[in-house]
A and B are shown apart, each in its own frame.
Chain A
Amino acid sequence: MVTTTPSGSSAPKTNRIGLTLADYKGAPSTLCDGCGHDAITAQIIKACYEVGMDPHMVAKLSGIGCSSKTPAYFLSQSHGFNAVHGRMPSVATGVSMANKQLHLLAVSGDGDTASIGLGQFCHIVRRNVPMVYIVENNGVYGLTKGQFSATAEKGAKAKSGVLNELQSIDLCSLAIELGCGFVGRSFAGDPKQLMALMKAAMSHNGTAVLDVISPCVTFNNHEGSTKSYKYAKEHEIPLHELGYVSFFEQITVDYEPGSVQEVQLHDGSRITLKKLEHDFDPTNRAKAIETIHKANEEKQFLTGLLYIDEQKSSFTDVMDIIDEPLATLPESKTRPPKAALDKIMAELM
């Protein structure tokens, strides 16, 4: 920690809790140069810094794969848990029960979530465990050298030239179908939109799923790939222009009437959706699924906030657990008195 600063002007900028951007960084990335995941990591660092996330109250979670390595590359002052392949959601559920005051920030990949981990993904969404669940989606397995994952589009060409003959799983429409209250899709190459979605996800009470197309520069960035930088840039159609206003910022923004939809988030922050060509309302569940299906049929890459419902109860609300973390409850609250045992024994005689 720097204690002497020669002049005020060179002191690093700090956020609302007095931390610098550097305080949110992690170990250097060991991913390939240009990997989409690193771009997402940079946005996570910036988003946490800007919203003033308290690092010691964050639990970073991931499964196995390239994407799941990334929690080591951000928030070095937060505890992290790199679990087993496809099973991060169960670990996150346990962490959430043990300490409901923690902010859960999870990173997974398309293999980790849509293939080996599809069951656990469905169940964490069903339970609505409060967390940000980012899927860094590149359609291939990077660590094992380029096999297709379940999110690879039908007709996509692998680096080896093999065509994918099977239909893909759309994690966003699936999440909405399962009752998820916050579903967004974005692109590693669209930092502004991604930033607004991430901040809003952190303000949501429940599972917030962000499916972020994150090109694999080594195994899936070639001609014929449907998850390359080039393909995503050419096909991206933002549903709206997203903005985020924190609860601690007293900003009022003037919009042309009818041009912007605002949604109040759980913590008092707001997400603003400025209309573009599409007339899309992310609070309409059926319409959201229909829009995604139509875009998939027309091979459009729609991004933005696909669905939001801020009224849903989270897993923590439903469990009705004591306010203090279960993890640190004293013995006086966790071991019933001798009288309780005596009563039980008498009943068994």
Chain B
Amino acid sequence: MKTLAAESAQQTEQGKIINDFSIQVATVNGSGSQSSNNVLMRSIFQMGIPVSGKNLFPSNIAGLPTWFTIRVNKDGWIARKKEIDILVAMNPQTGVEDVKSLRTNAICISPVEMNLDKVRSDVRHYLVPFGQLAAETTDNIKLRKLLTNMIYVGVVAELLEIEQEEIEKAIRKQFEGKAKVVDLNLGAANKGRQWAKENLKKEDPYYVERLNKTAGKIIIDGNAAAALGCMFAGATVVTWYPITPSSSLCETLADYMEEYRVDKETGKATYAIIQAEDELAALGMALGAGWAGARSMTSTSGPGISLMAEFTGLGYFAEIPTVVFDIQRVGPSTGMPTRTAQADLMSTYQLSHGDTKHIVLLPGSVAECYEMAMDAFNLAERFQTPVFVLSDLDLGMNNWMSDPFQYPTQPIDRGKVLDADELAKLGKFERYRDVDGDGIPYRTLPGTKSPIAAYFTRGSGHNEKAAYTERPEDYVNLMDRLNKKYQTARKYVPKPETHMSKDAKIGVIAFGSSHPAMMEAIEELKNANTPVSYIRVRALPFTEELRQFVEKHDRVYVVEQNRDAQMRDLIRMEMPEHTMKLRSVLHYDGLPLDARSVTDGILEQER
């Protein structure tokens, strides 16, 4: 780290800031800017420089403002950066506001006719005649708007010194298989680059320089990663209802399944995917399929989770496996459907009426979206219960750099299912008896050719033989066994990840998509002489490691992306004796968490 810091200082002395800045592109949604932004991000990635991209988009199809933020960071910090260094202001609707939000000496690239240089004189402006350049690129008026976006890619590439061949490679990848489109876009990018070379005088310190830090890495969004996990988990029945930001999970899964899950001998699908009429039906179908023995799943977001509450109780009480992804967005109600949050934690953990508590997995990276999808199916079948995977919009819909995913090393775990032969050997079967003492009973599937396989599944009171009962002792027996099963799950869910700092008195707890910002914040805190240890919770129920962590530290901050400190309260419920040492840093404005907010949030309370 010392070497890097020294390098950094040296670069600044020379007036250059290399591989450490953020770019924000402000456009109108539906204008094709997403392709341009991907090209920009990918070309930097291809130069071996760690990069991340975040799309801040409206709940709208076309015509409303959208912002795409690219963070370039040589040290590999890929969380959102609070400050914008370079603004590409392409949207006349928001241009004035966008440029006003910049800090002094930031950079603004904008169309000359927007006159943004009149708004802020303490910002360095590059004024570009985008309209004229687009007109020179094509006669087709419709295409001009789209190509304008690729022209700014060329301008930015020239200013930052992004290698031309990487721009070309990224454009070819973006429009793979469409030669005409590739040519048009290459032409536009070159137009921008050429114009910038001839007309702009470099007045800012920002540059990219080739590194070797992204070789062998992939770029993927969390929903696609989760979809891959589901496919390799052997999911067989997939049900869903369209909802932002979850839809792309099942849509991507459908694409992958079509390619990789068709039976070679018969040409028929080894899966079923169905778009349900609503989220109630989506979970009903998933439970019906899970009951009949499929590896079933559904994916939704907050409003869908609310609709699934009733069926979740049935799944918990009747002990039916299924997997539910919640790609969290901002609530309550419709909330802000295209903004991110971690505010479904409490409601999902205890979803449904009566005494219920669920296994909840909390992926903190795209790789974990992939791995935990597989964990979720195994846990659902092992524990015969709905298992929830709480991702969020930031993790699910944004592109992230990652190491390639690992092929599963463990076989699929179908849990305690008795077939006809085993039933014949046992001579007796009681669906809800705790035979093994771990709270997990055995189940049979419909279609099992045995006179003793059948049982009656119900959401009403039932005894060990699955018969209807209202006897108080039967109910208590059942509820206590369900609790015992839940306690058993503590030993099976993913353990937390800890980053200990020697002798640190302060502990920090976080989960999910907060992780990249947390890692950066810990470094910042260290540099501010406030060393902290960090534990990332990866599942509910909590495991023993969390208790030990809380016990070990004098003050423990729980960082989370919701208003009501939901994770902190869950920890307080679990360990009331530590209530007083648990503090909160909360971030709930709908934007992805950034390191500065965490660092400031902790330092303020430490003062």
Chain A residues packing against B (C-beta within 8 Å)? 27, 55-60, 71-72, 76-84, 87, 89-99, 101-102, 119-120, 123, 319-323, 325-329, 331, 333-336, 338, 340-342, 344-345, 348-349
Is there an interface contact between A59 and B459, defined as CB atoms closer than 8 Å? no
A325-B293, A326-B270 known; A56-B449 Cβ under 8 A: yes
Query: Which of these, B231, B270, B296, B456, contacts A329 with CB under 8 Å?
Result: B270
Closest to B285 in A: A94
B residues within 8 A CB of A102?
Answer: 292, 446-447
Is there an interface contact between B286 and A94, defined as CB atoms closer than 8 Å? yes
Closest to A316 in B: B272
Is there an interface contact between A326 and B405, defined as CB atoms closer than 8 Å? no
A328→B449 CA distance, assembly (Å): 13
Tell me the smallest distance from the CB of A15 to a CB of chain B, in Å. 16
A79→B294 CA distance, assembly (Å): 15
DSSP class of A's interface residues: helix, strand, loop or mixed?
helix
Other than the known A58-B446, A97-B289, what 6 A-B pairs have Cβ atoms closer than 8 Å? A59-B446, A93-B285, A94-B292, A327-B236, A329-B270, A344-B256
A residues within 8 A CB of B118?
Answer: none
A123→B276 CA distance, assembly (Å): 9
Is there an interface contact between B291 and A322, defined as CB atoms closer than 8 Å? no
B residues within 8 A CB of A90?
Answer: 276, 280-285, 288
Closest to A58 in B: B446
The answer to whether B237 has its CB under 8 Å from any CB of chain A is yes
User: Can you show 11 pairs from A to B with CB atoms below 8 A apart?
Assistant: A59-B292, A79-B454, A81-B288, A84-B311, A87-B310, A98-B290, A123-B277, A321-B270, A322-B268, A331-B234, A342-B407
A334-B234, A336-B232 known; A55-B292 Cβ under 8 A: no
Tell me the smallest distance from the CB of A74 to a CB of chain B, in Å. 11
B residues within 8 A CB of A329?
Answer: 234, 236, 270
Tell me the smallest distance from the CB of B195 to a CB of chain A, in Å. 32
The answer to whether B483 has its CB under 8 Å from any CB of chain A is no
Tell me the smallest distance from the CB of A59 to a CB of chain B, in Å. 5
Is there an interface contact between A97 and B281, defined as CB atoms closer than 8 Å? no
B residues within 8 A CB of A321?
Answer: 268-272
A89→B282 CA distance, assembly (Å): 11
The interface size of chain B toward A, counting residues with CB under 8 Å, comes to 72
A139→B499 CA distance, assembly (Å): 64
Tell me the smallest distance from the CB of B516 to a CB of chain A, in Å. 19
Is there an interface contact between B288 and A99, defined as CB atoms closer than 8 Å? no
Query: Which of these, B290, B310, B314, contacts A94 with CB under 8 Å?
Result: B290
Is there an interface contact between A79 and B444, defined as CB atoms closer than 8 Å? yes
Which residues 261-319 in B have Cβ within 8 Å of A in the complex?
A: 261, 263, 266, 268-272, 274, 276-278, 280-296, 310-311, 314
Closest to B460 in A: A82
The answer to whether B332 has its CB under 8 Å from any CB of chain A is no
Is there an interface contact between A119 and B277, defined as CB atoms closer than 8 Å? yes
- Quick check: which of B136-144, B216-224, B525-533, B559-567 contacts chain A, the rest being far away? B216-224
Is there an interface contact between B288 and A327, defined as CB atoms closer than 8 Å? no
Is there an interface contact between B293 and A328, defined as CB atoms closer than 8 Å? yes
Closest to B231 in A: A336
Is there an interface contact between A94 and B287, defined as CB atoms closer than 8 Å? yes
Tell me the smallest distance from the CB of A164 to a CB of chain B, in Å. 28
B residues within 8 A CB of A342?
Answer: 407
Is there an interface contact between B218 and A327, defined as CB atoms closer than 8 Å? no
Tell me the smallest distance from the CB of A88 to a CB of chain B, in Å. 8
Is there an interface contact between A341 and B232, defined as CB atoms closer than 8 Å? yes
A residues within 8 A CB of B295?
Answer: 334
Is there an interface contact between B446 and A82, defined as CB atoms closer than 8 Å? no
Closest to A54 in B: B449
Is there an interface contact between B294 and A91, defined as CB atoms closer than 8 Å? no
Query: Which of these, B218, B293, B411, contacts A98 with CB under 8 Å?
Result: B293
The answer to whether B453 has its CB under 8 Å from any CB of chain A is yes
> Mask for B166-207, Cβ within 8 A of A = 1, else 0?
000000000000000000000000000000000000000000
Is there an interface contact between B446 and A93, defined as CB atoms closer than 8 Å? no
